[in-house]
Amino acid sequence: MGVKSKRFLVGVGIVLMVGFLFSSGVKAWEEPKPEFVFKCQTSWPKGAGLTYLQFKTLDFIEHWTHGRVKFERYTGGEIVPSFEVWKAVEKGVLDCGLACTCYSMDRNWASGMFCSSVGLGPVEKMVFYHGDYPDRPKDIPKMWEYLQKIIRKDYNVIVLPSALQTTEVFLYSKKPINSIEDLKKLKIRSVGVRGDVFRYAGCSVIGMPAGEVVAAMERGVIDACEFANLFGDVDLGFADVAKYIYLTPLRAVPCDLTMMWNPKVWEKLPDDVKKKIEEACFEAMKWSLAECLFRDFQAMKTAEEKCGAKVLPLPKEVDAYILKKADEMYHERAKKDKDLAGYVEALDKFMAAYGKYIPLVDDLL
């Protein structure tokens, strides 16, 4: 067969292939249609840094599963109120949800320790919850498995990691905090374990959804508030209504944002898809910490120069006081709360084994 004949046959083959693709209604450059489409809502408002981080978890999952899984995405309040995401997933109103365990404490107080509990920074928290390596003491349980156990008992959902923040802002305040007494005089918006620590420390605490906090600061309903880490909060206006922004590595604490699944929805997934989703969630968690570090550092300058607030370290006296009160409260409550007792026992063992390294890690961050 001559060269011209070969070229002719190749050309005919290409034309036939293209014709087949168009006639069958399939375009070669189109992504395959997803096998699974899930309705998912976050607890956070549109534009919040937490929404950005948790929607990235969904991006990771869609990528990790090569498009087999897709999500219909909703922000706080679009389907159910922000505080109701856990219950909506449990009931099947949502296939899956994105929130934090501050909002699961109504049924299991100890679950809130996996959110913004005072005492651990982001890196040591990740090791405490997810570390699995030869030098890990055998008497320290895998704490994420512990969370899954206690959540499944009181909230019938499957819980996976989503995003891990940098240390959150300790407080946005209209008034300076130079002493323990200054702190106690403030009316503070706080939720979850951190809110209970503030109460135990003698502060006046008010709980309210994220979308109401900035307006409450403007109207003088509260003097100070906490929400999340700096980069997302600045865009929501927190720095605009505060004169002072106080940061501290262990008393402000990072939030472990979670993804929860309705068990009936989860159990219908093939095992290979479940594995991909679990891998994607873990990788999204690690990515989010680096992303928060990058963005928080830049947001400090924005908060001061564009918003007019002062970014300051928390006074050491206040810092030590909050940590002391948190530890007292955990051990006191653990006497009456079996789930919390298990957490506190593991935390004490972890601190005995790794506590001396924590200041070194915090210095690196």
CA distances (Å), origin 167, targets 125, 171, 293, 310: 11, 12, 9, 18
**36-165+255-293, what's its fold?**
D-Maltodextrin-Binding Protein; domain 2 (3.40.190)
Give the Cα separation of 93 and 50 in Å (integer).
22
Best mean pLDDT range from 1-10, 23-32, 110-119: 110-119
Stretch 148-157: mean pLDDT: 93
Q: Between 133 and 176, whose confidence is greater?
A: 176
Give the Cα separation of 250 and 168 in Å (integer).
9
Q: Which of 222, 216, 281, 229 is CA-nearest to residue 255? A: 229
What local confidence, expressed as pLDDT, does residue 3 receive? 45
Q: Which of 229, 214, 246, 265 is CA-nearest to residue 319? A: 246
What local confidence, expressed as pLDDT, does residue 118 receive? 78
In tens, the pLDDT along 210-234 reads 788 999 999 999 999 998 888 889 9
User: Is residue 295 scored above 90 in pLDDT?
Assistant: yes
User: Is residue 29 scored above 80 in pLDDT?
Assistant: no
Give the Cα separation of 189 and 171 in Å (integer).
9
Stretch 159-178: mean pLDDT: 93
What local confidence, expressed as pLDDT, does residue 363 receive? 62
Least confident of 5-19, 221-235, 311-325: 5-19
User: Is residue 359 scored above 90 in pLDDT?
Assistant: no
Q: Between 260 and 112, whose confidence is greater?
A: 260
Q: Between 180 and 362, whose confidence is greater?
A: 180
Q: Average pLDDT of the chain?
A: 88
Domain boundary assignment for the chain: 36-165+255-293, 171-253+300-334
User: Is residue 244 scored above 60 in pLDDT?
Assistant: yes
User: Is residue 260 scored above 80 in pLDDT?
Assistant: yes
What local confidence, expressed as pLDDT, does residue 249 receive? 67
Give the Cα separation of 152 and 94 in Å (integer).
17
Q: Using 50, 70 and 90 to split pLDDT, how confident is the model at 89?
A: very high
Stretch 337-347: mean pLDDT: 94
What local confidence, expressed as pLDDT, does residue 123 receive? 86
Assessment of whether the complete model's pTM goes beyond 0.75: yes
Residue the block writes with tokens 């002719």: 8
> 151 with 157: CB under 8 angstroms?
yes
Give the Cα separation of 326 and 195 in Å (integer).
11
Would strands 310-313 and 244-247 be described as parallel, antiparallel, or unpaired? parallel
Stretch 299-303: mean pLDDT: 95
Residues 171-253+300-334, CATH architecture: 3-Layer(aba) Sandwich (3.40)
What local confidence, expressed as pLDDT, does residue 122 receive? 86
Stretch 124-130: mean pLDDT: 89
Give the Cα separation of 170 and 314 in Å (integer).
8
**Dihedral of alpha carbons 309, 314, 317, 320, sign:** positive
User: Is residue 91 scored above 70 in pLDDT?
Assistant: yes
